């Protein structure tokens, strides 16, 4: 089983177990909203543009609500679990290349919104894949950082992001924790953050991610 399929299956199982009203780290979204988002991005490419482009966000939101009404929570979680759908199921390798990060992040969005969560012990293979995916994305994900950022991966590896020439903050952690940090989950990532007090505070509240 690929890493993408493993994360997908684990997330689908968790969504079913928690029910449709469970909180997530995605602001304003319950588990029902997240399930609809995952189905939309795979199976409604006509509406996926609004995920990243603000002018299209209204249409995306309306389609997401229509998916909730059409399939219900059980139907949506079933589609998530039986994926990949759309292009991700048709083009060999696309699911693993794109959805490993997508489903890892959203799996943790659900896990870490629940009381008593603890970081998972990731396999060496998944840890390595997440780092390989993160490194080329670092500058994009940290483009809104007000300070320079140096990522130090436990186990080896350094990546840079944010503006140059000003204060810098050092962020140290395992691949998955650094990935979550860069995707805007700073306060839920188990990392060590070192730097000037003002620079650290600015970074922790910055709108990181895509």
Nearest to 67 by CA among 95, 43, 99: 43
Q: pLDDT digit string (tens) for 122-133?
A: 999 999 999 999
- Distance from C-alpha of 95 to C-alpha of 191, rounded to nearest angstrom: 28
With 80 as the cut, is the pLDDT of residue 59 above it?
yes
Mean pLDDT to the nearest integer, 76-85: 92
What is the reported pLDDT for 46? 83
Higher pLDDT, 87 or 160: 160
With 80 as the cut, is the pLDDT of residue 52 above it?
no
Given a contact cutoff of 8 angstroms between Cβ atoms, the answer to whether 26 and 14 are in contact is no
Q: pLDDT digit string (tens) for 61-78?
A: 999 999 999 999 999 999
What is the reported pLDDT for 54? 81
What band does 53 get if pLDDT is binned at 50, 70 and 90?
Answer: confident
Q: What's the pTM value of the predicted model, to 2 decimals?
A: 0.94
Residue 148 β-bridge partners: 168
With 90 as the cut, is the pLDDT of residue 134 above it?
yes
Hey, what domains does the chain have and what are their CATH numbers?
3-111 (no CATH), 124-204 (3.30.1050)
Phi and psi angles of residue 183, each rounded to the nearest 5 degrees, phi first: -90, 15
- The tally of CA atoms less than 13 A away on the side-chain side of residue 78 is 7
Write down the mean pLDDT value for the chain. 94
- Distance from C-alpha of 183 to C-alpha of 109, rounded to nearest angstrom: 11
What is the reported pLDDT for 89? 81
Peptide bond into 111 cis (omega under 30): no
Phi and psi angles of residue 160, each rounded to the nearest 5 degrees, phi first: -120, 150
With 80 as the cut, is the pLDDT of residue 210 above it?
no
Q: Which helix (H) or strand (E) holds 139?
A: helix 138-141
Given a contact cutoff of 8 angstroms between Cβ atoms, the answer to whether 159 and 145 are in contact is no
With 90 as the cut, is the pLDDT of residue 83 above it?
no
- Distance from C-alpha of 93 to C-alpha of 4, rounded to nearest angstrom: 10
Peptide bond into 84 cis (omega under 30): yes
Residues comprising the chain, all counted: 210
Phi and psi angles of residue 80, each rounded to the nearest 5 degrees, phi first: -60, -45
What band does 29 get if pLDDT is binned at 50, 70 and 90?
Answer: very high
Structure tokens at 144: 């809104």
What is the reported pLDDT for 178? 98
């Amino acid at each position: 089983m690929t890493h993408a399929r493993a994360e997908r299956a684990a997330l689908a199982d968790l969504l079913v177990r928690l029910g449709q009203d469970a909180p997530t780290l995605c602001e304003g979204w319950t588990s029902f909203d997240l399930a609809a988002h995952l189905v939309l991005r795979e199976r409604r490419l006509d509406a996926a543009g609004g995920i990243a482009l603000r002018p299209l966000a209204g249409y995306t939101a309306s389609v997401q609500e229509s998916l909730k009404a059409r399939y219900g929570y059980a139907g949506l979680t079933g589609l998530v679990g039986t994926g990949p759908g759309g292009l991700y199921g048709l083009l060999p390798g696309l699911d693993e290349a794109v959805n490993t990060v997508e489903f890892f992040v959203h799996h943790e969005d659900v896990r870490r919104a629940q009381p008593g969560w603890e970081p998972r012990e990731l396999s060496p293979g998944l840890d390595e894949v997440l780092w390989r995916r993160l490194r080329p994305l670092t500058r994009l994900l940290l483009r809104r950082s007000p300070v320079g950022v140096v990522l130090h991966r436990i186990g080896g590896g350094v990546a840079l992001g944010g503006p140059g020439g000003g204060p810098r903050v050092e962020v140290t952690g395992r691949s998955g924790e650094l990935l979550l940090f860069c995707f805007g989950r700073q306060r839920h990532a188990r990392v060590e953050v070192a730097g000037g007090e003002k620079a650290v505070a600015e970074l922790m509240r910055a709108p990181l991610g895509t």
